[in-house]
């Protein structure tokens, strides 16, 4: 909250209070951004996803731009747990912004082991990226199915007492069902969602544009899809929903909060405008001032759904 206004920007995410609802999406944030923004203004830090094994990432090229977004196939490059604890954590310790550690593993047991090892002083919450392939399910992401989501979340819950955020995939037919499974197994919040599986082809060479053939689409193009999923998940669960997908402006963040998100994560926009997150925070405060809304949390689930008056139009009602 700035000294110039009385707007309360704080939000609560599963026992963790954030000074405002804006944070980076995993994999889109690095220490060098401190040159263009005050890290103490962010609601939280979310780290690049950490794996136990050392990972070089996917073959080049890894990123291709398309109208309205980026397709990436980075492949979660990771230098492992000791490097993170010894090199990365001390850097963030200089700030009073909560540190949320994103983790990934190929098995449910691997997730639990990693969560336990990283439940250390200085870590405020664990974000489990269960959108990654699961070697126990023929390469399908854990979050593709409610059963595998419930299993991995249950093991994670027993492994850590820290707030547990579970990051879901949009690449499944029933995201609300998966969100309910995560909630039932003990998740404190769900992050909706990751990138949408996509592909691009070079018309000169007739080859895929990405070395991995397929990648994940992010950016403004996916916002209407993920916004709908956030709306559905917020109706399906009682735990907080964190919206992630195509958020570039304060207006985008406000839409997500009206749809049911308690907080938002910003990704691709930071690549295009490194100070995007602080601009969004300023915009949220300005919006609340204009609307005479004392608390940004009052926007959560604020969308107004009117019932259809005509019986013939009842199919248009998204609630029924």
Domains, the chain, ordered by start: 11-316 (3.20.20.70)
d(CA 223, CA 174) in angstroms, rounded, equals: 17
Rounded to two decimals, what is the model's pTM? 0.94
CB atoms within 10 A of CB 8: 17
pLDDT per residue as tens digits for the range 164-213: 999 999 999 999 999 999 999 999 999 999 999 999 999 999 999 999 99
Average pLDDT for 299-306 = 95
**135 burial level (CB within 10 Å; 0-12, 13-18, 19+):** exposed
Would you state the structure tokens that stand for residue 94, as one six-digit string? 């200089």
Is 233 one of the annotated active-site residues of the chain?
no
Instruction: At 280, list the tokens.
Output: 């969004």
User: Quick check: 88 and 49 in contact, CB under 8 A?
Assistant: no
- The four Cα atoms 4, 5, 7, 9 give a dihedral, to 10 degrees, of -10
Rounded to whole angstroms, the Cα distance separating 96 from 42 reads 10
Region 303-317 average pLDDT: 70
Distance linking the first and last C-alpha atoms of the chain: 38
**Residue 9: both structure tokens together:** 């920007």
Higher pLDDT, 132 or 313: 132
- What's the CA gap between 237 and 186, in Å, rounded? 12
The 10s digit of each residue's pLDDT in 265-282 is 999 999 999 999 999 999
Q: Helices 250-259 and 276-290: crossing angle, nearest 10°? A: 60
| Mean of all residue pLDDT scores within the chain | 93
**Alpha carbons 102 and 203: distance in angstroms, whole number:** 37
pLDDT tens digits, residue range 88-103?
999 999 999 999 999 9
């Amino acid at each position: 909250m700035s000294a110039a206004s009385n707007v309360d920007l704080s939000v609560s995410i599963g026992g963790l209070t954030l000074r405002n609802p804006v944070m980076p999406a995993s994999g889109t944030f690095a220490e060098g951004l401190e040159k263009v923004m005050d890290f103490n203004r962010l609601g939280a830090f979310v780290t690049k996803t950490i794996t136990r094994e050392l990972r070089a990432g996917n073959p080049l090229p890894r990123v291709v731009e398309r109208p309205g977004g980026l397709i990436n196939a980075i492949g979660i490059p990771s230098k492992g747990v000791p490097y993170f604890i010894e090199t990365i954590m001390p850097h963030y310790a200089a700030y009073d912004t909560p540190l949320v550690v994103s983790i990934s593993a190929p098995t449910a047991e691997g997730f639990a082991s990693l969560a336990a090892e990283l439940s250390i002083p200085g870590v405020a919450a664990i974000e489990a990226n269960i959108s990654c392939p699961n070697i126990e399910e023929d390469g399908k992401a854990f979050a593709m199915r409610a059963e595998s989501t419930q299993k991995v979340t249950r093991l994670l819950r027993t492994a850590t007492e820290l707030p547990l955020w579970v990051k879901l995939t949009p690449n499944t037919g029933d995201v609300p069902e998966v969100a309910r499974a995560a909630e039932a197994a003990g998740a404190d919040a769900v992050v909706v969602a990751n990138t949408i599986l996509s592909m691009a082809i070079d018309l000169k060479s007739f080859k895929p544009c990405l070395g991995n053939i397929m990648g994940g689409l992010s950016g403004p193009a996916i916002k209407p899809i993920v916004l709908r999923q956030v709306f559905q998940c917020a109706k399906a669960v009682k735990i907080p929903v964190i919206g992630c997908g195509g958020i570039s402006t304060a207006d985008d963040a406000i839409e997500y909060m009206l749809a049911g998100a308690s907080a938002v994560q910003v990704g691709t926009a930071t690549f295009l405008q490194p100070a995007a997150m602080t601009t969004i925070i300023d915009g949220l405060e300005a919006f609340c001032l204009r609307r005479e809304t004392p608390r940004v949390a009052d926007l959560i689930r604020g969308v107004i759904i009117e019932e259809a008056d005509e019986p013939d139009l009842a199919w248009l009602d998204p609630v029924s």
